[in-house]
């Protein structure tokens, strides 16, 4: 309390008085910048963002939460400056429509965003807002000739508590729209016809043929599966987390992967991949640390990296034309 009274309160009030006297035409812009910056100093905002990122396993990054809250609080301070500069603008002009829109959006967005939104309204109106920004608004109202410091100097905390709720709801709507777009694109990909090709005999394939064994497991099981594979005779593995950018690319275009899953790649000779598949299928879940989600095998070669065993461009055009006509 001593620090708030001696530092934030006086400094916020003096800053409001000084900016109003010298920069009144751009006071709303300055208010937005001030609100945008102040949120970054709120300890509770950082804690909330870290908790959200941890619980959602990175699907909602902390940077997105911080920027969304900063924009929301910046808008709240800017609108509060408008209310001080224009006495005819009342507080309920913003509060009532804002909460009505937030309530309507709560029926559309995912439930996790509803909880985050209302929690964000509480953490954004923390000690920095209650001391520095409130004192700043009172300084502006005290300096502006048509403003009433008692009526117009207060209410900014209510605005700061409302706009983060609305901004997070809007963020949830954007996430929802992107999710629907991704699902629609996936449905289109599934319904599009694809050409089929005759299988090329193995003896016609040049190079050292290997298999790419892909194993999808729950988080924390990768080390156990790799150790088990070593006992079978398999060597070398690459582990991708579900949050990995490469795994996200897979989930966008082909697979539905849970971000908390782990993906293990084994590049093995064909006989070893078959042996490992049979062993994994019969393995004791207690030995692996849990049940395997899924695993599958893709053909690959060790020549010049992970190339396909053959070049599709070399396939007879008559076969392609025949398949397309069919």
* Residue pLDDT, tens place only, 269-281: 777 777 888 888 8
* Residue pLDDT, tens place only, 178-234: 888 877 777 765 565 544 444 445 444 444 567 777 787 777 787 888 888 888 887
The per-residue pLDDT for 169 is 92
CA 299, CA 103: separation in Å to the nearest integer?
52
What tokens appear for 183 in the block? 């699902």
Q: Which of 325, 41, 57, 10 is nearest to 193 (CA)?
A: 325
169 and 235 within one domain: no
Q: Tell me, yes or no, whether 229 lies in a domain.
A: yes
158 and 69 within one domain: yes
The per-residue pLDDT for 193 is 52
Q: Tell me, yes or no, whether 96 lies in a domain.
A: yes
The per-residue pLDDT for 312 is 34
Q: Tell me, yes or no, whether 200 lies in a domain.
A: no
Q: Which of 186, 143, 153 is nearest to 23 (CA)?
A: 143
Q: Domain ends where: 155, 189, 223?
A: 189
160 and 48 within one domain: yes
117 and 17 within one domain: yes
Strand partners, 269: 210
What tokens appear for 98 in the block? 């804002």
143 and 8 within one domain: yes
CA 25, CA 31: separation in Å to the nearest integer?
12
Please report, for residues 17, 101, 211, the alpha-carbon distance to residue 24 in angstroms, rounded to integers and kept in the order given: 10, 31, 70
Q: Tell me, yes or no, whether 203 lies in a domain.
A: no
Q: Tell me, yes or no, whether 197 lies in a domain.
A: no
The per-residue pLDDT for 308 is 38
213 and 179 within one domain: no
Q: Work out how many domains the chain is built from and give that number.
A: 2
Q: Quickly state the pLDDT bin for 246 (edges 50, 70, 90).
A: very low
CA 21, CA 144: separation in Å to the nearest integer?
8
264 and 117 within one domain: no
Q: Domain ends where: 129, 161, 189?
A: 189
268 and 154 within one domain: no
Q: 113-122, 219-228, 254-263 — which is least confidently predicted? A: 254-263
Q: Which of 148, 156, 122 is nearest to 12 (CA)?
A: 156
236 and 108 within one domain: no
- Answer with the residue of higher pLDDT: 57 or 114: 114
∠ CA 187-191-196 to the nearest 5 degrees?
135
Q: Domain ends where: 161, 189, 217?
A: 189
How many residues does this entry show for the chain? 326
Q: 40-49, 121-130, 190-199 — which is least confidently predicted? A: 190-199
Q: Tell me, yes or no, whether 153 lies in a domain.
A: yes
Q: What is the mean pLDDT of residues 18-47?
A: 83
CATH code for position 267:
3.30.70.120
Q: Tell me, yes or no, whether 255 lies in a domain.
A: yes
95 and 36 within one domain: yes
What tokens appear for 188 in the block? 């289109």
Give the domain extent around 39. 2-189
Q: What is the mean pLDDT of residues 285-311?
A: 59
Phi, psi of 243 (to 5 degrees): -85, -5
* Residue pLDDT, tens place only, 14-29: 788 888 777 667 888 8
Q: Tell me, yes or no, whether 194 lies in a domain.
A: no
122 and 49 within one domain: yes
Q: What is the mean pLDDT of residues 131-150?
A: 81
Sheet containing strand 209-218, strands side by side: 238-241, 261-269, 209-218, 294-301
CA 68, CA 119: separation in Å to the nearest integer?
14
H/E element, 238? strand 238-241
What tokens appear for 103 in the block? 């309530």
Q: Quickly state the pLDDT bin for 100 (edges 50, 70, 90).
A: very high
126 and 6 within one domain: yes
Sign for the CA dihedral angle at 191, 197, 201, 203 comes to: negative
∠ CA 47-49-53 to the nearest 5 degrees?
120
Q: What is the mean pLDDT of residues 162-167?
A: 91
């Amino acid at each position: 309390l001593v620090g708030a009274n001696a530092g934030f309160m006086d400094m916020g009030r003096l800053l409001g008085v000084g900016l109003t006297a010298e920069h009144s035409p751009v006071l709303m812009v300055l208010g937005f910048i001030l609100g945008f910056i102040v949120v970054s100093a709120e300890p509770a905002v950082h804690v909330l963002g870290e908790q959200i990122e941890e619980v959602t396993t990175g699907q909602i990054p902390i940077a997105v939460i911080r920027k969304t809250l900063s924009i929301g609080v910046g808008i709240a301070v800017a609108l509060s400056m408008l209310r001080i500069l224009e006495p005819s603008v009342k507080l309920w002009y913003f509060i009532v429509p804002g909460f009505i829109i937030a309530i309507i959006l709560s029926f559309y967005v995912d439930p996790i965003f509803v909880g985050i939104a209302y929690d964000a309204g509480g953490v954004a109106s923390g000690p920095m807002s209650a001391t520095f920004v409130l004192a700043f608004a009172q300084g502006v109202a005290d300096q502006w000739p048509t403003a009433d410091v008692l009526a117009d100097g207060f209410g900014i905390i209510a605005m700061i508590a409302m706009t983060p709720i609305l901004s997070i709801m809007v963020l949830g709507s954007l996430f929802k729209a992107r999710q629907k777009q991704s699902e629609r694109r996936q449905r289109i990909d599934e319904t599009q016809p694809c050409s089929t090709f005759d299988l090329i005999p193995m003896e016609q394939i040049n190079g050292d043929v290997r298999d790419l064994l892909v194993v999808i497991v729950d988080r924390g099981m990768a080390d156990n599966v790799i150790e088990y594979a070593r006992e079978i005779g398999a060597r070398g593995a690459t582990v991708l987390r579900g949050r990995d950018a490469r795994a996200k690319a897979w989930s966008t275009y082909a697979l539905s992967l849970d971000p908390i899953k782990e993906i293990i790649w084994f590049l093995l000779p064909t006989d070893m991949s078959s042996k490992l598949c049979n062993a994994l299928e019969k393995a004791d879940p207690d030995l692996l640390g849990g049940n395997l989600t899924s695993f599958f095998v893709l053909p690959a070669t060790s020549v010049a990296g992970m190339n396909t065993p053959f070049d599709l461009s070399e396939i007879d055009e008559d076969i392609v034309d025949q398949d397309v006509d069919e």
